[in-house]
């Protein structure tokens, strides 16, 4: 089974602290990590490989420092890593990202399964996985919480829905995006860590993957951010005092009243 | 190559842009700002500079553009389950009506399913001028492949300028598949939509970084402009049963068979209401102390007609299934009322529920961060307050 896992470097959100005076995020000293959902994607790929044999390639598009995250993937057990890198990719929205990743995956060739995390914790879009599937012309299933069966040319998995889950089967090659429930990621092994230090990360630019530069980066991105702002949490806070029964009475009164405007 | 450039003559080294940059990609040295290599050109710094010292330089090469003039009208995709339109479709009609009226164009709903024709009247009542119906027995269940194939055909044939899809499980899977096929832009999980009338473009505002940063996004040169819209945020119109819509049955090629097959649909939620559709959510945190106390939370939720949520700690401890988890690695919810029971309010949890209309927090620790976000706070033991609430509710039955 030839598996590609797409990961993203994100700021370590556990480190995010709010500045109480200015209500902004304190970002100094925030380190970068593998997007938490992508850890489940890597783990699932490793488990399939360990069971069925094959190869796990972990890929990312980003700046050179993303090498750190790719080395971490090797420490976890990935066989190969590719960094799609170049100024021509800067400013990519989800469409341009999906296009670039699709060209890189086509260059690898003969890929059976692509696994992505459900979404990244910085952009929270959840769009690259399905968009990438479309660019590759393969089926996809999102929010996968369990792979029930996988073998040559076939996958059956469970997709988490609002009400429960669905059992879905697809032919391979295909793309799945995974949720946290699917597994518990392993820790890097000593052997893996040794290997990661020496590993060579393939760096591919737009020419290497045969990408049309008009479809990459800012130029290839139909969406543009025109404004960003910190949300104003103008909250009128009321502390409900009194005995437990009085507090409960007051809360039920609030719940019974017509909904308060935002 | 495109780049963000600091105009050094104008830069005073005030560091405002450093605060605005989500990626730590700006440094100030000798009272001048410099863009670092890890800049991803997100543009967050552009508006932050009071001295207009930051500019985004684009490449001169031609970009891919659509002829925007031939695209007209606002569309919403009306998600249905078991032949019944979801309430999120009414929310889309509510905001879609506002956008269509501003643009002075028609508002249409797209309805794909099996035996769904009876739903036209209700879509009309909630504001649709037209309903495009694709009704076929093979479409009884949502399928990424057939539904995206049909929606792409409809968009290519009728060319709406705006397409809105609910940011539900299905919507967030369908929308990027469709926009990718059409090669247009898509903005995820919008919480506010408006029209820039001068340019006739859609202004899409959405939270990022778990709600700590809001971004307004446009798609100026390609059509349609597509957004997924966070459920429960937009207000539906008051339904008017006298409103009529034109039912249109477009000619489309419905795929004979799909490679994706939905074999089984399992509804394993113990409660009647799911988190995405709930008006009220009662959420349990570590403060409930013992897995047995989940029953108490469920009882309160049952009396309120609410859904049951949970913090990551409670899910990780195995007290309740992952389907209930609210927060960064769980679900993002926007109910009318969110009742946080024994939840301290880690940043990751707040990211999943901060857009709730009203937040009620019950926690023993007066310093718990959840109180900063709460409209109503009770400092007390959840194991005493919740039984008292249950008693009070039962009195009123």
**pLDDT for A260:** 46
Q: Which of B174, B264, B280 sits opposite A166 (nearest CB)?
A: B264
Q: Which of B59, B267, B375 sits opposite A237 (nearest CB)?
A: B375
Domains: count for chain A: 1
> pLDDT averaged over chain B?
92
Q: Minimum mean pLDDT among B71-85, B113-127, B272-286: which range?
A: B272-286
Q: B189 CB near a chain A CB, below 8 Å? A: yes
Restricting to B residues 87-146, those with a Cβ less than 8 Å away from any Cβ of A are 144-145
Q: B277 CB near a chain A CB, below 8 Å? A: yes
Residue of A88, A181, A223 to mutate for B, most B C-beta atoms under 10 A: A223
Q: Is residue A61 within 8 Å of A107, Cβ to Cβ? A: no
- The domain of A64 spans 2-215
Q: Which of A63, A91, A95 sits opposite B183 (nearest CB)?
A: A95
Closest residue of chain A to B47, computed from CA coordinates: A227
**pLDDT for A19:** 54
Residue B177 DSSP SS3: helix
Average pLDDT, integer, range B71-90: 96
Q: Tell if the CB–CB gap between B377 and A179 is shorter than 8 Å.
A: no
Closest residue of chain A to B191, computed from CA coordinates: A231
In this predicted structure, the answer to whether residue B222 has a pLDDT above a threshold of 60 is yes
- Sign of the four-CA dihedral A180, A182, A184, A190: negative
Q: Which of A232, B31, B9, B10 is CA-nearest to residue B18?
A: B31
In a domain, A246, yes or no: no
Mean pLDDT per 10-residue interval, chain A, length 262 residues? 96 58 54 93 98 98 94 97 94 95 97 97 92 98 98 96 94 97 95 95 97 93 87 80 92 77 40
Looking at CA atoms only, how far is residue A201 from chain B in angstroms?
18
Query: A232: which DSSP letter?
Result: P
Q: Which of B179, B214, B391 sits opposite A229 (nearest CB)?
A: B214
Average pLDDT, integer, range B127-146: 96
**pTM (predicted TM-score):** 0.87
In a domain, A239, yes or no: no
Residues of A in contact with B267 (CB under 8 A): 163-164
Average pLDDT, integer, range B184-193: 96
Residues of A in contact with B210 (CB under 8 A): 13, 16, 121, 124
In a domain, A260, yes or no: no
Domains along chain B with CATH numbers: 3-57 (3.30.70.20), 68-248 (3.40.50.620), 280-395 (3.40.50.1220)
In a domain, A154, yes or no: yes
- Sign of the four-CA dihedral B154, B157, B158, B163: positive
Average pLDDT, integer, range B45-59: 83
Q: B12 CB near a chain A CB, below 8 Å? A: no
Closest residue of chain B to A178, computed from CA coordinates: B329
The ipTM assigned to this model is: 0.90
Strand A2-6 relative to strand A113-117: parallel, antiparallel, unpaired? Answer: parallel
Q: Tell if the CB–CB gap between A179 and B322 is shorter than 8 Å.
A: yes
Q: Which of A25, A124, A260 sits opposite B188 (nearest CB)?
A: A124
DSSP B341-369: ES----HHHHHHHTT-SEEEEEES-TT-T
Cα A43 to Cα A183: distance, rounded to the nearest angstrom: 7
Closest residue of chain B to A86, computed from CA coordinates: B1
Closest residue of chain B to A184, computed from CA coordinates: B316
What are φ and ψ of residue B217, in 5° steps? -125, 140
Looking at CA atoms only, how far is residue A116 from chain B in angstroms?
13
Tell me the pLDDT tens digit for each residue of B316-366.
Answer: 999 998 889 999 888 889 999 999 999 999 888 998 998 899 999 999 999
Q: A129 CB near a chain B CB, below 8 Å? A: yes
Restricting to A residues 148-167, those with a Cβ less than 8 Å away from any Cβ of B are 156, 159-167
Q: A179 CB near a chain B CB, below 8 Å? A: yes
Residue of B35, B71, B177, B178 to mutate for A, most A C-beta atoms under 10 A: B177
Q: Which of A162, A180, A224 sits opposite B217 (nearest CB)?
A: A224
B52 Rama sector, left if φ>0, alpha if ψ -120 to 50, beta otherwise: left
The two three-digit tokens of residue A33, written as one number:
């990590």
Residues of B in contact with A163 (CB under 8 A): 267-269, 274
Q: Is A184 exposed, middle or buried (0-12, 13-18, 19+ CB in 10 A)?
A: exposed
Q: Which of A167, A249, A261 sits opposite B263 (nearest CB)?
A: A167
Residues of A in contact with B23 (CB under 8 A): 11
Residue of B186, B231, B311 to mutate for A, most A C-beta atoms under 10 A: B186
β-sheet with B337-341: strand ranges across: A238-239, B376-379, B358-363, B337-341, B280-284, B307-310
Q: B41 CB near a chain A CB, below 8 Å? A: yes
In a domain, A99, yes or no: yes
Closest residue of chain B to A223, computed from CA coordinates: B219
Q: Which of A87, A233, A245 sits opposite B373 (nearest CB)?
A: A233
Residue A257 makes CB contacts below 8 A (sequence gap 6+) with none
In a domain, A200, yes or no: yes
CATH number of residue A194's parent domain? 3.40.50.620
Q: Tell if the CB–CB gap between A251 and B215 is shorter than 8 Å.
A: no
Residues of A in contact with B180 (CB under 8 A): 95, 98, 130-132, 134-135
Residue A239 DSSP SS3: strand
């Amino acid at each position: 089974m030839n598996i590609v896992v797409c990961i993203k470097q994100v700021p370590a959100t556990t480190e995010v602290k709010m500045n109480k005076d200015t209500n902004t995020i304190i970002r100094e000293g925030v380190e970068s990590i593998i997007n938490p959902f992508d850890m489940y994607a890597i783990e699932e790929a490793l488990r399939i490989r360990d069971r069925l044999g094959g190869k796990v390639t972990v890929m990312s598009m980003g700046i050179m420092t993303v090498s750190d995250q790719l080395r971490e993937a090797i420490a976890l057990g990935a066989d190969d890593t590719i960094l799609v890198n170049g100024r021509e990719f800067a400013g990519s929205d989800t469409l341009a990202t999906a296009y670039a990743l699709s060209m890189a995956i086509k260059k690898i060739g003969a890929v059976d399964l692509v696994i992505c995390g459900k979404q990244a914790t910085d952009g929270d879009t959840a769009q690259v996985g399905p968009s990438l599937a479309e660019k590759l012309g393969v089926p996809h299933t999102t929010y996968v919480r369990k792979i029930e069966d996988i073998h040559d040319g076939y996958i059956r998995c469970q997709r988490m829905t609002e009400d429960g889950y669905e059992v879905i089967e697809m032919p391979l090659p295909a793309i799945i995006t995974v949720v946290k429930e699917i597994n518990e990621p392993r820790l890097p092994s000593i052997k893996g860590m040794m290997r990661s230090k020496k590993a060579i990360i393939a760096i591919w630019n737009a020419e290497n993957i045969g990408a049309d530069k008009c479809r990459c980066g800012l130029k290839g991105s139909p969406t543009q951010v025109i404004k960003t702002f910190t949300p104003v949490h103008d909250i009128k806070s009321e502390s409900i005092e009194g005995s437990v029964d009085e507090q409960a009475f007051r809360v039920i009164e609030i719940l019974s009243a017509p909904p308060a405007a935002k | 190559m495109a780049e963000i450039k600091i105009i050094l003559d104008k830069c005073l080294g005030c560091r405002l842009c450093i605060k605005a940059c989500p990626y730590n990609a700006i440094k100030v040295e000798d009272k001048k700002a410099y863009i670092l290599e890890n800049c991803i050109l997100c543009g967050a710094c552009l508006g932050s500079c009071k001295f207009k010292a930051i500019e985004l330089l684009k490449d001169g090469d031609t970009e891919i553009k659509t002829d925007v003039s031939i695209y007209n009208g606002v569309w919403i995709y009306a998600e249905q389950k078991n032949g019944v339109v979801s309430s999120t479709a009414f929310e889309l009609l509510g905001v879609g009506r506002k956008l269509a009226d501003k643009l002075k164009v028609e508002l249409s709903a797209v309805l794909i399913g099996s035996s769904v024709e009876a739903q036209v009247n209700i879509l009309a009542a909630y504001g649709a001028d037209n309903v495009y119906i694709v009704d076929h027995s093979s479409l009884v269940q949502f399928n990424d492949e057939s539904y995206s194939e049909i929606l792409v055909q409809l968009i290519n044939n009728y060319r709406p300028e705006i397409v809105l899809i609910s940011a539900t499980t299905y919507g967030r899977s369908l929308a990027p598949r469709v926009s990718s096929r059409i090669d247009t832009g898509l903005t995820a999980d919008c919480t506010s939509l408006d029209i820039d009338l001068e340019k006739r473009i859609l202004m899409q505002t959405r939270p990022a970084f778990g709600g700590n940063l809001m971004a307004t996004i446009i798609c100026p040169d390609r059509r349609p402009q597509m957004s997924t819209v966070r459920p429960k945020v937009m207000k539906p119109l008051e339904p008017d049963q006298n409103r009529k819509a034109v039912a249109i049955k477009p000619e489309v090629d419905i795929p004979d068979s799909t490679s994706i097959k939905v074999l089984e649909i399992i509804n394993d939620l113990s409660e009647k209401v799911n988190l995405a559709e709930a008006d009220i959510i009662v959420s349990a945190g570590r403060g409930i102390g013992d897995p047995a106390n989940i029953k108490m939370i469920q009882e309160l939720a049952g009396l309120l007609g609410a859904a049951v949520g949970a913090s990551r700690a409670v899910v990780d401890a195995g007290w309740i299934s992952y389907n209930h988890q609210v927060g960064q690695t769980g679900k993002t919810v926007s109910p009318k009322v969110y009742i946080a029971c024994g939840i301290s309010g880690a940043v990751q949890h707040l990211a999943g529920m901060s857009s709730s209309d009203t937040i009620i927090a019950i926690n023993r620790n007066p310093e718990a961060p959840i109180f900063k976000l709460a409209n109503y706070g009770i400092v007390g033991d959840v194991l005493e307050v919740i039984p008292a609430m249950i008693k009070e509710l039962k009195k009123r039955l």
